A = this chain, B = another copy of it.
């Protein structure tokens, strides 16, 4: 991981569909080298996936929420299996604090969110935050492009 790799990663985070040619120009190295570096970063697992961000509201998902669940440690593996299988789950993290799980979900309506929460109750107490607006939408980090 040198400064060129970091520059490549930064550009790919901003736009995953940027061409090798454009990257080559910006990094002052040739397209074959860019290609080789990207493959290397993929192999190392630093680049995990190329993902398309869509407007969920325009796709009919009007409700976004963070659902917190207090899951008993012994139910964790069942919980993980269940939560993975729900397509409405956009992310799930195990965190410190009273509620051990944070789940980011989207639903077409509050009714569907409600029935999801009801199903979750079997794993433990829940607490839900409805999202009103998103001042900073899903984005990547800018890695420092200094030599370091």
Q: Report the interface size class on chain A.
A: 35 or more
**Are B58 and A44 touching (Cβ within 8 A)?**
yes
A52 and B140 CA atoms in complex are apart in Å by: 8
Using A15-B50, A55-B48 as known contacts, say yes or no to A93 and B138 having CB atoms under 8 A apart: no
Using CB atoms, name the residue of chain B closest to A48: B53
Using CB atoms, name the residue of chain B closest to A12: B52
**Are A136 and B55 touching (Cβ within 8 A)?**
no
Give chain A interface residues in 53-100, CB to chain B under 8 Å.
53-56, 58-59, 61, 64-66, 80, 83-84, 87-97
User: Which of B49, B54, B102 is A53 in contact with, Cβ under 8 Å?
Assistant: B49
**Are B48 and A66 touching (Cβ within 8 A)?**
no
